[in-house]
Amino acid sequence: MSISTALQRTPIGERLVGIVPDAERFVAETIIEDIENLKREHNAVVLAHNYMTADIFHGVADLRGDSLALAHMAATTEADVIVLAGVHFMAETAKILNPDKTVLIPDPGAGCSLADSITPADVRALKNRYPGVPVVTYVNTSAEVKAESDICCTSGNALRVVESLESPRVIFLPDRYLGAWVASQTTKEIILWDGSCMVHERFTAAELRDYRSEYQGIRVIAHPECPPDVLDEADYVGSTAGMIEWVRAEAPTKVVMVTECSMAANLAVNAPNTEFIQPCNLCPYMKMITLENIRTALQTMTTEVVVDPDTSRRARQAVDRMLAVPLT
Ligand code: 13P
Ligand code: SF4
């Protein structure tokens, strides 16, 4: 059963029971009801990233996932309107894949420190410096940066994308930690950029060692945007979707998810036998998306994501090449 079907079958009054406090739940249910009516009126879907708060993730999301899954879903949805409950680069990717659809972002200020770390001029300068070397660009970038790139990747397929290229040298942008993680698993030479995620770069290896000594038998799983010494401490490294799958498969008694803290809160709802130790590193951009502004987006059809047609066409080539890389 798909997630969207499961949510359609769950009455609104039951979606947030035990997930948000009762005092907040009654207000949230009113907003959720409004959003469901607006979705029907506009033939709209809400695509939500795994970092959304529980009221969005369990309350109004029709489709949920990591950046890779959201890109695949955006490429195949039959809805007329896509509300992207996530950050701006995710909404731009949805628009690039659906130039004729209306794509709304509830808060256009929901950016990303990685996307801010590189400009199209930076990419052109790198291409001049390393002529002929393919540019692999993490989807956490602007449409203009994607347009200068050969192929995109996400944290879920970065290694597969790099390995899919014939060149023995690859320029990898903009996350130096994700790039270093890929470099540690391939024989290709990886040329890095100096970007980083403001959420994941704050984790330290010492902090993870402290969790291991405080919580006997705890499993440690980490996102590849963390620094290399942090990843060295982890039992598993993967994208947000990879981490969710790992918890489902391993059913650990105790786990710390070394990533944005809404992930653990969302997953804990369906994993009652696992204790989640939550280091609360919040992404301030992801947290700009709320139930209230999702409702406003659908009421006012704003803020619509617009990508210049030529930029969109060139960025789409890089995104399509990524989507053509087999999933396993
Ligand atoms: P995922 O693609 O793993 O969901 O990561 C997106 C992101 O922004 C992580 O910080
Ligand atoms: Fe960007 Fe980091 Fe926030 Fe993800 S968690 S959107 S990479 S700032």
Tell me the longest C-alpha to C-alpha distance in the chain. Answer: 60
Q: Is the preceding peptide bond at 131 cis, omega within 30 degrees of 0?
A: no
Task: Report the pLDDT value the prediction gives residue 2, as an integer from 0 to 100.
Answer: 40
**Ligand 2 residue neighbourhood (C-beta within 6 Å):** 87, 112-114, 140, 197-199, 225, 260, 283, 285-286
Ligand 1 midpoint to CA 206 (Å): 23
Do residues 111 and 88 touch, judged by C-beta distance below 8 A? Answer: yes
Answer positive or negative: Cα dihedral of 192, 198, 199, 203: positive
Do residues 42 and 34 touch, judged by C-beta distance below 8 A? Answer: no
User: Which protein residue has the closest C-alpha to ligand 1 atom 3?
Assistant: 239
User: Which protein residue has the closest C-alpha to ligand 2 atom 6?
Assistant: 112
Domains present along the chain, CATH in parentheses? 5-110+286-300 (3.40.50.10800), 115-196 (3.40.50.10800), 200-277 (3.40.50.10800)
One-character DSSP codes across 231-275: HHT-SEE--HHHHHHHHHHH--SEEEEESBTHHHHHHHTT-TT-E
Task: Report the pLDDT value the prediction gives residue 10, as an integer from 0 to 100.
Answer: 86
Residues of the chain with pLDDT under 70: 1-9
Task: Report the pLDDT value the prediction gives residue 43, as an integer from 0 to 100.
Answer: 98
The atom of ligand 2 lying closest to the CA of 86 is: 6
User: Which protein residue has the closest C-alpha to ligand 1 atom 4?
Assistant: 66
For a ligand 2 pocket test, name from 70, 92, 105, 114 the mutation site with the most ligand atoms within 8 angstroms of its C-beta. 114
Task: Report the pLDDT value the prediction gives residue 327, as an integer from 0 to 100.
Answer: 85
Edge-to-edge order in the sheet of strand 236-237 = 236-237, 219-222, 254-258, 275-277
Nearest CA to 153 out of 171, 126, 132, 128 is that of 171
Ligand 1 site, residue 92, Cβ cutoff 6 A: no
Task: Report the pLDDT value the prediction gives residue 68, as an integer from 0 to 100.
Answer: 93
Tell me the angle at which helices 67-76 and 88-97 cross, rounded to the nearest 10 degrees: 30
Ligand 1 site, residue 307, Cβ cutoff 6 A: no
Backbone angles phi, psi at 256, to 5 degrees: -115, 125
Task: Report the pLDDT value the prediction gives residue 3, as an integer from 0 to 100.
Answer: 44
User: Which protein residue has the closest C-alpha to ligand 1 atom 2?
Assistant: 67
The atom of ligand 2 lying closest to the CA of 175 is: 7
CA 139 to chain centroid: 9
